Structure formats: structure tokens, C-alpha cells
């Protein structure tokens, strides 16, 4: 989630419609993830708005697909008055009147229009109304709240408020996560300048205890019955804090669990233990604009652990991303934007989000050239390691970090010989539409290929040695966020398994060979 701190005298309206999870193309657990339907039409949300002159509002476009599902899509935005940027962020003109905000789908040309009514300058806020006024939620689930202002000329308008919650957490844009503990909680939206406020009631149904999925437990029989198989891992159960568990800020060694989050929720820490609907509790990591430090990549939050080096190792890590997670950086940063979310073994940068738009599987280490030549494995899609693209309409890449669902990255790294190294990687979805899938499903790329990649390097002149004994997750974000922003990602259970002890823990050992 983006947190923006703006000190403007005029009222700001920011409505982020993030409560609509992107829907997969199939309605049951056996379906692939990704857009299999064609775009039939698009709808601008909100469809109408009333703003004060010079106020702002965020618009989004929701597509209806031929398979009956809905997805947010990228469109070309235009406005008959005021300005709107490529992300849908609209600024009303100074003059009162009625204006149109138009979204044009790039692939099909279908359009939709929202009507914006702009009130005259000088109008003030006299009241606030929060919606929904009451809602029933399951523990750990989400709800988007919005605020509407009553103005001194008796009109209404979207308005930016300060959100607080008596239980659970709520972001600055009104995206609420219910606690796992049942009860009745209050959500308050306060317009700071006028003092006007309103309260919504949330009734939370508790999540039953002991629901942690055993397939991700580090004490499951597969690992218990094979001593030495687990090289390192965490399932985050039975702990009360992430302090001292390998989380640090930047490239230094400073503990992340006691560092506050600039521009984040009150009381948040750069690494913190949060409740989760599916995994009971997991760490949440925050990334910042560097306002709390600019040396040693202080805007990063990282997790790293060491383990005995082996020649063949399986890696699995689960992730859940804030809806706006990508690799964007401040305009002041002149390097290559990238967010390496998975460093493992000798093939560093195994998975990274790069240039804000695509996920890449890296085929080389960052340094120490191995020599030799790289080729695809026989069953690997030939996408060159550009694994997921997020800039395309209805893209699977955008779905991964925009849906608030859980995904898992699985990798197998093998030192076959001193001159032969092999890597295979898979991306699978773990949850969908508020439910844990009975079996994880491979994500499908926009062109229909599965999101997997396998390559090998042969004829190496420099032996990389055994799979290096370390794992770094969310490592080395290149560049700080724009001023006033903070984004987060949750790190779920992860594990590193010696493949010589358990050759095929996930049923993938024969894939791409």
C-alpha cells in the first residue's frame, strides 16, 4: 500500500478501490491463474464523483471478461477538464463545472466515462460520512473504507481523512485488515482540518485456532522422517516477535524489528509479526522513501539466513504483496530500478521485480563470471527469463502483486559437475478468493505459458562450487521510494531442503527435463 503525506491547504480526495481482488480465469481450484477471457467492456470506478476545485481523486478501470470474470486493467486516461496521469490520479480544475474522465482500453478500444462535478473554490468541509457504516468480516480478511465530505454549499465530495482502527490495522487509504480475534471494532475517519469525523462498526468472526496448513509446517512428517533434509527454514509459528530472527535494514546489520516505518501506520515496525488469515501469523516487511536513512540501502528491509552448502537444494518461499508493490523509485535515483525478492545459492538475483513492470529470473550471478554457455532446458518456456509482465492489460504479473493473494516461489539449484550448473524455478498461487487452494496452481503468463523457467550452463571455466549456504529474501532494493511513500510485503513460510535427502518434495523434480 502507498502511504502519501501531503501538506496542502486544500482538501485532498484519494479513493483507492483495493477491496476487489483480481479473479482467476477459472472458478475452481483446478483452474490456471491468469487472464484467459477477452475484454468485453470496461467500467470506470468510481463512475461519478463530486470534488472541490483543485482536489484530487484516484480512478481505476475494471474489465468484464468473456469468461465471466473481472479484472483491473491498464487503460489510457483522458479528461475534459482538469488533468489525469497514467495511473488514474485526477486533479480537478480550478473552475466549477461538470467534466468527464474517460478510460480507453488499449487492446480493444472500448471506453467508459465517469462524470466529475467540481464545486466552486472556497467551499469547506462541514461533515464526514464513512462507508460502509457497518460490515461483518472473518478474522484476517480485508475491507476498503471510503469517506465522503458534506460541504458548506450542501454538496458532497470525496475527502482525504486520517484512518484509525480500534482493532486490526488500516492504511492511510482506508484498506483495513481485520484481527484474527473476534469482536466488535470501530473504524474512524477524521478530517483533520475541520475536525469532522465518522465511525464505522466492524463485526469480526474469529478464525479457529490450529488452522495453520500442515503442508507448510516445518514439523510435517516428510521432514521429521528424513533427518538432515531441512537445511534452514521458518514457518513463523509459536513465536511472539521477529526480533533477532534475521531481519535487518539495508546492507548493514541493524535490527529491523525495532525500527519505525516513516509514513507507515502508527506503531508499525520495519519488520513486524502480523496476523494472517491463512498462516496464523507471518512477518511483514516495509520499504521506505529513505527519510529514515540513506546510507547502506537503509530504505530496504531484508531477511537472511545461512545453511550448510550442498550440491543440490530445493528452495520454497511464500509471498503476499501490497497492492502497489513494484520496483518504482524516486526520481532522484538514477540507477536501474529493481527489487530482488529472492537471492539464493550461487545464482544471485534468482527472482527480481525490475523496472516496475516485470519479474525476471536471473540466469547469472551478479559477479564472478562462470564462463561457458547458457541454454534452456527442454521443457522450459522460451521467454528469456522475463517471467511475468505487469504493464500489459490484465497481466498475470500485475495479478501477483495486486491481488493480495499468497504465492509461492519454488526453485531447484543443482551443481551437476564442476563445469555444469542447472536452475529451475516455478511460481504458483496458494490462495484464491479468500480460500486456501487444495493444491497450489502454476501461474499462467499473459501469452498462455506457465510461469516457470529452466536453464543450464555448461562448459564453465569457473566452478561456482556447491550451492552457496545462504538465502536472502527481499534483498537489495535498488533505489528509495518517492517521498512520503511506504510499501510492504509479507513473508510466509520458507524452507531449504537438501535434494540428496528428499529428491522430490514438491512433485516437480521431472519438470523441464
Q: Is 494 contained in some domain?
A: yes
| CATH number for the domain that contains residue 273 | 2.60.120
Q: Is 267 contained in some domain?
A: yes
**Residue the block writes with cell 496464523:** 280
| Cα angle, residue 307 at apex, residues 413 and 498 outer, rounded to 5° | 45
Instruction: Over range 468-488, report the average pLDDT.
Output: 86
| CATH number for the domain that contains residue 12 | 2.60.40.10
Domain edge (last residue) among 95, 121, 147: 121
Residues 240 and 372 occupy one common structural domain: yes
Q: Is 205 contained in some domain?
A: no
Return d(Cα 235, Cα 367) in angstroms, integer: 32
Return d(Cα 147, Cα 197) in angstroms, integer: 9
Residues 356 and 474 occupy one common structural domain: yes
160 close to 228: Cβ distance less than 8 angstroms: no
Residues 231 and 116 occupy one common structural domain: no
Nearest CA to 228 out of 344, 317, 313, 345 is that of 313
Q: What is the pLDDT of residues 348-381, one digit of tens each?
A: 567 777 777 778 877 566 555 778 888 999 989 8
Q: Is 191 contained in some domain?
A: no
227 or 340: whose pLDDT is higher? 227
Most distant CA atoms of the chain, gap in Å? 77
Instruction: Over range 41-57, report the average pLDDT.
Output: 78
Instruction: Over range 85-104, report the average pLDDT.
Output: 89
Return d(Cα 50, Cα 155) in angstroms, integer: 8
Domain edge (last residue) among 105, 121, 137: 121
Return d(Cα 92, Cα 53) in angstroms, integer: 6
- Edge-to-edge strand list for the sheet holding 97-105: 48-52, 111-119, 97-105, 75-79
E strand or H helix at 399? helix 396-402
Q: Is 266 contained in some domain?
A: yes
Nearest CA to 395 out of 58, 60, 40, 74 is that of 74
Domain count, the chain: 2
pLDDT at position 26 over 60: no
Q: Is 26 contained in some domain?
A: yes
Helix-strand-coil percent breakdown of the chain, rounded to 5? Answer: 5, 45, 50
29 or 344: whose pLDDT is higher? 344
Nearest CA to 443 out of 413, 477, 475, 401 is that of 401
Q: Is 421 contained in some domain?
A: no
Burial class of residue 318 in the structure, from the number of CB atoms within 10 Å of its CB (0-12 exposed, 13-18 middle, 19+ buried): buried
| Segments forming the whole domain that contains residue 399 | 227-406+466-498
Provide the pLDDT for residue 7: 32
69 close to 46: Cβ distance less than 8 angstroms: no
Q: Is 162 contained in some domain?
A: no
Share of the chain above pLDDT 70, in %: 86
Residues 482 and 350 occupy one common structural domain: yes
- What is the C-alpha radius of gyration for the chain, rounded to an integer number of angstroms? 24
- 17-26, 377-386, 445-454 — which is least confidently predicted? 17-26
Residue 363: left if φ>0, alpha if ψ -120 to 50, beta else—which one? Answer: alpha
Return d(Cα 450, Cα 456) in angstroms, integer: 19
pLDDT at position 6 over 80: no
pLDDT at position 481 over 70: yes
Residue 208 banded pLDDT, cuts 50, 70, 90: low
Beta strand pairing status for 312-321 and 407-417? antiparallel
- 62-66, 405-409, 420-424, 491-495 — which is least confidently predicted? 62-66
Residues 240 and 362 occupy one common structural domain: yes
Nearest CA to 119 out of 146, 75, 150 is that of 150
| Cα angle, residue 25 at apex, residues 399 and 171 outer, rounded to 5° | 35
Dihedral, 244, 248, 254, 257 alpha carbons, nearest 10: -60
Residue 77 phi/psi, 5-degree rounding, is: -100, 145
Q: What is the pLDDT of residues 117-145, one digit of tens each?
A: 887 777 788 999 999 999 998 776 668 78
What is the grid cell recorded at 501? 535427502
What is the grid cell recorded at 21? 481482488
Average pLDDT, the chain: 81
Residue 68 banded pLDDT, cuts 50, 70, 90: low
258 close to 292: Cβ distance less than 8 angstroms: no
Domain edge (last residue) among 104, 121, 138: 121
Amino acid at each position: 500500500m502507498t502511504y502519501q503525506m501531503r501538506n496542502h491547504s486544500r482538501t485532498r480526495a484519494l479513493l483507492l478501490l483495493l477491496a476487489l481482488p483480481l479473479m482467476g480465469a477459472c472458478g475452481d481450484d483446478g483452474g490456471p491463474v491468469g487472464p484467459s477471457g477477452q475484454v468485453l467492456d470496461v467500467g470506470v470506478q468510481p463512475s461519478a464523483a463530486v470534488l472541490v476545485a483543485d482536489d484530487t481523486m484516484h480512478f481505476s478501470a475494471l474489465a468484464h471478461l468473456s469468461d465471466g470474470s473481472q479484472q483491473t486493467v491498464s487503460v489510457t486516461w483522458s479528461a475534459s477538464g482538469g488533468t489525469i496521469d497514467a495511473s488514474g490520479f485526477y486533479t480537478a480544475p480550478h473552475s466549477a463545472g461538470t467534466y468527464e474522465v474517460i478510460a480507453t482500453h488499449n487492446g480493444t478500444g472500448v471506453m467508459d466515462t465517469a462524470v466529475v462535478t467540481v464545486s466552486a473554490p472556497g467551499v469547506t468541509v462541514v461533515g464526514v460520512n464513512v462507508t460502509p457504516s457497518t460490515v461483518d468480516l472473518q478474522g484476517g480478511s480485508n475491507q476498503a473504507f471510503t469517506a465522503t465530505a458534506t460541504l458548506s454549499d450542501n454538496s458532497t465530495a470525496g475527502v482525504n481523512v486520517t484512518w484509525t482502527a480500534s482493532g486490526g490495522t488500516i492504511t492511510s487509504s482506508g484498506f483495513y485488515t481485520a484481527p484474527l480475534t473476534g469482536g466488535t471494532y470501530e473504524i474512524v475517519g477524521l478530517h483533520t482540518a475541520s475536525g469532522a469525523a465518522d465511525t464505522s462498526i466492524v463485526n469480526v468472526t474469529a478464525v479457529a485456532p490450529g488452522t495453520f496448513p500442515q503442508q507448510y509446517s516445518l514439523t510435517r512428517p516428510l521432514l521429521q522422517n528424513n533427518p538432515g533434509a531441512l537445511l534452514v527454514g521458518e514457518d513463523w509459528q509459536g513465536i511472539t516477535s521477529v526480533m533477532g530472527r534475521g531481519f535487518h535494514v539495508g546492507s548493514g546489520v541493524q535490527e529491523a524489528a525495532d525500527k519505525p516505518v516513516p509514513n507507515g501506520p502508527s506503531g508499525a515496525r520495519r519488520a513486524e509479526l502480523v496476523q494472517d488469515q491463512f498462516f496464523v501469523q507471518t512477518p511483514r516487511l516495509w520499504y521506505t522513501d529513505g527519510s529514515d536513512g540513506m546510507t547502506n540501502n537503509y530504505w530496504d528491509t531484508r531477511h537472511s539466513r545461512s545453511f550448510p552448502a550442498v550440491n543440490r537444494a530445493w528452495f520454497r518461499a511464500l509471498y503476499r504483496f501490497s497492492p502497489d508493490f513494484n520496483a518504482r523509485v524516486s526520481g532522484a535515483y538514477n540507477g536501474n530500478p529493481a527489487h530482488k525478492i529472492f537471492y539464493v545459492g550461487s545464482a544471485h538475483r534468482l527472482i527480481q521485480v525490475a523496472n516496475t513492470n516485470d519479474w525476471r529470473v536471473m540466469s547469472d550471478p551478479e559477479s564472478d563470471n562462470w564462463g561457458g554457455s547458457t541454454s534452456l532446458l527442454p521443457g522450459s518456456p522460451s521467454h528469456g527469463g522475463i517471467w511475468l509482465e505487469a504493464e500489459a492489460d490484465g497481466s498475470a504479473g500485475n495479478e501477483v502483486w495486486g491481488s493480495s493473494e499468497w504465492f509461492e516461489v519454488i526453485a531447484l539449484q543443482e551443481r551437476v559437475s564442476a563445469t555444469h550448473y542447472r536452475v529451475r524455478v516455478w511460481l504458483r498461487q496458494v490462495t484464491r478468493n479468500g480460500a486456501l487452494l487444495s493444491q497450489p496452481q502454476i501461474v499462467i503468463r499473459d501469452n498462455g505459458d506457465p510461469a516457470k523457467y529452466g536453464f543450464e550452463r555448461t562448459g564453465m571455466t569457473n566452478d561456482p562450487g556447491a550451492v552457496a549456504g545462504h538465502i536472502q529474501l527481499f534483498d537489495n532494493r535498488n533505489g528509495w521510494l518517492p517521498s512520503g511513500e511506504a510499501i510492504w510485503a509479507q513473508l510466509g513460510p520458507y524452507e531449504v531442503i537438501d535434494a540428496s535427502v528428499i529428491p522430490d518434495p514438491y512433485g516437480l523434480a521431472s519438470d523441464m527435463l
